[in-house]
Structure 1
Amino acid sequence: MADKCHLCLLGLIILSSLLTGTSGVDDAQVFISSGENVHLPCNNALHDCKSTYWIYNRFRHSAAVELIAGGIKKKDIERHERLSLGSDCSLNIKNITKEDYGFYSCRQYVNDKQQGTDAPVYLHVLHVSSSSSQTEISAGSSVTLSCQLYSYSYAGVSCDDWIRSEGIQLFWLNQAGVKLIVSGTRYQKSARGHCISTLTTTLLNEDDNREWRCEVTHRNQVKTSVTYTVKSSVFCRGSQMLFCQ
């Protein structure tokens, strides 16, 4: 019964914190790249973690999922093996995927009574994908990289609206860390809204193992980035054919 009550209250607590702009504890915005490990802080932890519950929502209208109950992770959830509870009651998630983005909430219960308010954490995941299904493609062919920031949408606010209001931007950089400039046919950049940015380029002979990086900034501060390396299967230098090893 207590578990059901915990989940029933989640929607009201989320709505209340969003409407008032306060929750008793500062909201945490965490940016992470897919494939990395993340540490979500529990800013309302008590002296031990036996009172700690972690709740998760991916979408505004999705059902709440209980990940941690009484300091013990639930075994009937899909990502059970990738979750762990830190000594400070933080939630640790290994090998982040784009499906892990969303709203996380740490709360404390003692004798089935909530202590204080929730400590919310918004997890944003940056992910890059390629138009090519192969890891190795031929020089002279075109490749399109898509960089997307997966973020929790709440109170009817779209990802684009949220990004604009928060001063969040996506940039493409070369392996020297310089922002790419569209020039001629070398690079073409486009954006389907502010949450997705694509980069299209035609591979040159010298592009073997060249890296391109998508970077996300929040109010002009770099939060995280994803590096993508394209390996070409065949290169031509003059009349000689060189094959990748």
Structure 2
Amino acid sequence: MGPLVLNTRPKTDSADLEASLQTRGYRVLSAPMLEIEFPAQTRPFDPTPYQALIFTSANGLRAFARLSQDRYQTALCVGDATARLAADMGFNRIESANGDIHDLAALIRERISPAMGPLFHPAARKTAGDLGEILRDGGYQIDRQIVYTAHASQTLPQQISDAIAAHHIDAVLFFSPRTAETFVKLVKSYKLEGELTDTCAICLSPAVQLRTADLTWQRTYVASKPTQEYLLSILDQSFSSV
């Protein structure tokens, strides 16, 4: 049997990830650390003032699909997975930063003129960074609208807490600082902080790794680029080096 990997991503983002893990020969457990809620949209959305749309997550895309059927603007996506979803949803003009929010800001500076009009950014209430602040000195007008909420999990499933206590989990995947922070809080609340010494933490970025530091791991790995592909690559490397 392959190594047992714990996925902490929200359910909305997990289907492709878990399929990739199983294809690679891993056994998979899931404990979503965030639950995504898409509230009902009560006001009509008019996309015509915006020269382009900014998507810093796949859930931003899913929320936009609830706002509008329009797909004619350029979709500026933080990564390739989000860009693929944009293509599946019918967008024809898609740009991918293939990285994190700072890479997306660099893409916007390279491809978009602030003189051509504002940008629309459908996002969560809490985000990993403030894109508007990063681009403020460039004269960009970014209309950020809260279109979904990510609620932190309050419990660990019994199967997961038992697996941690028994030292059965070989690696835990962390894709965002908030999922890592939520996991750490729950592990501490269940008095399991000493039970991960045989487990590797696989982190999307240094910012994510920082949130895992309160727990003692066998080893911590960080993807060389903040994408799912690179995270899975470092996961494979972590076991090939054992």
TM-score (norm 2): 0.27
Structure with the largest fraction of strand: 1
TM-score (norm 1): 0.27
Structure with the largest fraction of helix: 2
Which structure has the bigger radius of gyration? Answer: 1
